[in-house]
Structure 1
């Protein structure tokens, strides 16, 4: 069976894209899936550095943690993005691609091969503007934005190439820091826009200090027991968010080779 391709893409930075991507990759690997990842952000390389840190920790402390295969795309060495995606997908159940916060031909090519496209956004009208323009008085959606048109074109290209479809998922991150009225307005605008543009909306990950603390060691919320760290209430809540995120993606199941840590 061909690898299911999941592309995390958003032209704006700071939406929790790489954090969501690496936690998704590790969660799927913990369930027994063979997971490969490709970091398209050659400069910042957040996903790649996260997994570098993880590999160092595993070797240093002799830990057996779920570990995806990972690579970083470097167009200066090889700019055939489709060939690299195909090579990584050949021996994987899931291929996860993390993209930079910009629009370029490589990002568009990755999106056009996606089975699932995940667009994380902070729950605000600033990030919503990426997908659709909203009237300042009524908060009604006026028209889709450039990014929505880009995704539409990528979906058409995918259908033309192999008849496949792209399941577009908008991930609402950092919900709890917003005033309730603004949250409701954003939710209504997203619901209206989803019908016009064609995406699903699922809850994502909250803003938590734990994510920044885990990065230097390459750890995720699923690894705390393996390193002997007790999980506090905030950690349990965060793992619940991750579990809900994975369920919301509605991905095909891989045959489990190992059991995930109980959340």
Structure 2
């Protein structure tokens, strides 16, 4: 029988690697806890009475499920939620159509001068919404779109497509050309190739763009405060300001309203999370 000996140097390096892995996992756990704690605290607060919030901020002695009913009905959160849903869904549809078509042109078709045009287009990343507030407001006012849902949808669409095109173009450039060439030989049109072949291949980056743009359109407050004054058209972030003034002393109901604002973002992220890291990594590196 032969005995395999492990050198002290090998044991020490193995132990060191194991210790580094444990420390890394602990660090990631602490970061995750610090990130999730505010959400968990608001969730816990949303089930409390006002007395429990003040006297027992870290405990729940009585579950107040009615807080969500009060926020949804009496606080008009249902109307704000519907407005936000309409604006966000329409915005995402427009953004995806524009982003996919532009990224396909820049990354796959590559017409003459596409690099210069893409570079010019990406300069919009350096322009903030504060810089364009006045001209955009005047333009939409002349078009009669201020104080309408379109006054939110169009600026939201424009603000989200630039980053989406940047990420998606780098992803599209890495798609195999052989599949498209085989489809052309079989008689497929350019539109059929895009819909049936390329869009399924870029689904990871599509999910990434959806997460980023959904969060922005759903939670945006600055432009909504300027462009919408009609109470019936206010989105959820904007409507929660009135909600806070009315239920500011009822912390449980107020926390319930905040959770209603947060839950859709969490659902979209969890649904698309399996694609998110892959889409960001590939889109940032390829090209």
More strand by proportion, 1 or 2?
Answer: 1
More helix by proportion, 1 or 2?
Answer: 2
What range describes the TM-score normalised by the shorter chain of this pair?
under 0.3
TM-score for the superposition, normalised by structure 1: 0.25
The structure number with the bigger radius of gyration is 2
